[in-house]
């Protein structure tokens, strides 16, 4: 399967702590993206990292990509209760599969006040 797989499936932390979620995939990629989904809503794009990049920052988000290990991590620093949501990684393949994204099952993050 070309789908990414997030780990852990669920994560529960206190406000102020950092949250780290991981994503593994199996095929060569063009880019890897992270999305957030609040309960009852659509997915919202957070950050995109290309295959020739190793790290990217956006506000309290830090994403790393290791193409040799076919893995990525999303770090949310100083988490807030409002960060409670499901987080999905999605990979964009190369060649004939370019155009679609392959989504994982997601990590459910709960941040307690």
Partner 1 sequence: DAGVIQSPRHEVTEMGQEVTLRCKPISGHNSLFWYRQTMMRGLELLIYFNNNVPIDDSGMPEDRFSAKMPNASFSTLKIQPSEPRDSAVYFCASSTGGGETQYFGPGTRLLVL
Cβ proximity to partner 1, 65 vs 79, nearer residue: 65
Preceding amide of 8 cis, omega within 30:
yes
Residues making contact with partner 1 (CB under 8 A):
30-31, 33, 41-45, 48, 88, 90, 92-93, 98-101, 103-106
> Which tokens go with 71?
């893995």
59 sits in the region (left: phi over 0; alpha: psi -120 to 50; else beta) called left
Cβ proximity to partner 1, 13 vs 48, nearer residue: 48
Minimum distance between the CB of residue 29 and partner 1, rounded to whole angstroms?
A: 9
Please answer whether residues 1 and 93 qualify as being in contact, where contact means their C-beta atoms are separated by less than 8 angstroms: no
Minimum distance between the CB of residue 96 and partner 1, rounded to whole angstroms?
A: 10
Cβ proximity to partner 1, 30 vs 67, nearer residue: 30
The whole-angstrom separation of Cα 63 and Cα 73 is 6
Minimum distance between the CB of residue 54 and partner 1, rounded to whole angstroms?
A: 19
Minimum distance between the CB of residue 99 and partner 1, rounded to whole angstroms?
A: 6
Tell me the HSE value of 83 on the side-chain side, using a 13 A CA sphere. 28
Cβ proximity to partner 1, 39 vs 113, nearer residue: 39
The whole-angstrom separation of Cα 35 and Cα 86 is 8
């Amino acid at each position: 399967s070309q789908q990414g797989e997030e780990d852990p499936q669920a994560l529960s932390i206190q406000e102020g702590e950092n949250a780290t979620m991981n994503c593994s995939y199996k095929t060569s990629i063009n880019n890897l993206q992270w999305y957030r989904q609040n309960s009852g809503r659509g997915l919202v794009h957070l950050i995109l990292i290309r295959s020739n990049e190793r790290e990217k920052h956006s506000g309290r988000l830090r994403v790393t990509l290791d193409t040799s290990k076919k893995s990525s991590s999303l770090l949310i620093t100083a988490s807030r209760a409002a960060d409670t949501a499901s987080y999905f990684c999605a990979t964009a393949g190369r060649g004939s599969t370019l155009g679609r994204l392959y989504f994982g099952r997601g990590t459910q993050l709960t941040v307690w006040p």
